[in-house]
Structure 1
């Protein structure tokens, strides 16, 4: 299963981690993994140009120090929405969690 965990503090996305494998199909034919990888890596690259820190390994992506500017926050918000759409269609393979620390 792919786990997508987003951290929100004081109303702003601060970081997110995406880890695991969908195991929907064989490597190279896994449409769930491909969808999650494509959209998350696209977002990570866009955020990195605005100063976010990006770590990418096989089956793992972490983005931290996300800018609080409107564009960066909107990119992450759209990523959350897209991943939730994927998780709704493939609930056995993708889980999305948004941890909001209102303090």
Structure 2
């Protein structure tokens, strides 16, 4: 199962997300759930960088793990753009979860300390 954790700060802004696991929906190379999650998440990270010039802190491993942390102390304008892009990612991931819920689970958490 793909497990996604989205962490929001006290202001409800997305501060980070992490994705791990595999969907096991189909054989490697034909797994549309894994492909969809990868396309949506990596596309969001690429969009953040291309459209804002901000480079999130990214960790990516061969086993399917991906994490993305948004830097602190951004301008309001940059943060607003980033939040819109990440909220779009969440909508897309929730759509995948609605259709393939036995292969993907999204959890939302609050950041404990800002």
Q: TM-score, normalised by structure 1?
A: 0.90
Equivalent residue, structure 2, for 1:56: 60
User: 1:57 offset after TM fit, Å?
Assistant: 1.3
After the TM superposition, which of the residue ranges 50-59 and 16-25 deviates more from structure 2?
50-59
1:79 aligns with 2:89: yes
User: 1:44 offset after TM fit, Å?
Assistant: 1.7
Alignment of 1:31-46 (within 5 A): 31-46=32-47
Structure 2 CA distance for aligned equivalents of residues 65 and 74 of structure 1? 13
Q: How many residues align?
A: 103
1:24 alignment partner, SS class:
coil
User: 1:51 offset after TM fit, Å?
Assistant: 2.7
2:87 alignment partner, SS class:
helix
Aligned Cα RMSD in Å?
A: 1.8
In our comparison, the structure showing a higher alpha carbon Rg is 2
Q: TM-score, normalised by structure 2?
A: 0.82
